[in-house]
Amino acid sequence: MMAKSDVSIIFLAPKFPGIIQSDVLVSLSSTCNRKNLSPQRESEVDQIWKGRIEKNPRLFNASKFRYHSMDVKNGVTELRLGLTSYKDFLGTNWAPDAKQLRSEGQDHYGNSQAYMSDALGVGNFVLTKDNYVIFIRRSQTVGEAAGLWDIPGGHPEPGEVPGGSSSPDEVELSSLAPADVLAEFYESTLREIRDEVNVPMDSLSQPMLMGVAANHQSSGRPSAEFYVKCSLTKSEVLKLYQEGGAEAEESSNITFIPVKDIPTIEENMVWKEMAPSAKGCMKLFNALSAGNHNYGV
């Protein structure tokens, strides 16, 4: 694990450019859900949520997958997931007493994340045909990292899985097939690129999982980062972005950085204005691709 800063690597693929879908096995279990807090503290989760939607009525609660752990055995990567919700994410990972919750998790369970929602995010290192990496500036209306440069990304959604639901009160792990959840894990990341950047999905390669990074600005929240190639050039992507996609309101601008400059990205001025999720993605790419400059893989 890297030294703690804004982000740290908690899982790194065995080799560049990452892990294909068929080499991943999803395990679903309620033991991977966050641990219950005291009744009083659980009610505070509701109060935090009410306060957040009063400030930003655009927010809405939805079921999410909870990241528990990931490791590689005999060439197969096991991804262990539970369930959580966006409300719980804001009420734990972004709670005013999140530091205390992490301390109590460590004391009670030997795991600082035990009480954390840890809603799993996904992000993308998208490389254009002419070797530029895509970044978008987040709008001021989003729930996290408003106004910062980020990569296209979001969440895999239980509501998109057969037998699932976007309502946290209606979805159960027993109704979800692990193979369907795995498909959603990989497909969701392509949908996010399509919807945020407005590029067609048939211009995108199959995603390869580079690893998982923890965002320490949101109490260790995990995000899985993928390597995706785009068959369009920088100028073609720019034109499509300017036309506006399904989630155009989530960003206000787009920029492109040559992939050859990513190894020294932390020296770039844009790093100071970059969301932790994007920083985690860049760190994963650099750790995984060190010594390998055949980015066309």
pLDDT at 143: 58
> What is the model's pLDDT at position 245?
83
The first and second tokens of residue 271, run together, are 């790093």
Separation CA 70–CA 227 (nearest Å): 18
pLDDT of residue 147: 87
Q: Choose among 24, 31, 139: nearest CA to 81.
A: 31
The angle, 0 to 180 degrees and rounded to 10, between the axes of the packed helices 234-243 and 178-197 is 90
Separation of alpha carbons 60 and 49, rounded Å: 10
> In angstroms, rounded to a whole number, what is the distance separating the alpha carbons of residues 35 and 25?
24
Which residues of the chain carry a pLDDT beneath 50? 1-3, 296-297
Encoded tokens for 136: 């978008």
pLDDT digits (tens, 9 = 90+) for 204-216: 999 999 999 999 9
> What pLDDT is stored for residue 141 in this prediction?
64
- Is 7 within 8 Å of 58 (Cβ atoms)? no
pLDDT in tens, 147-177: 899 999 999 999 999 999 999 999 999 999 9
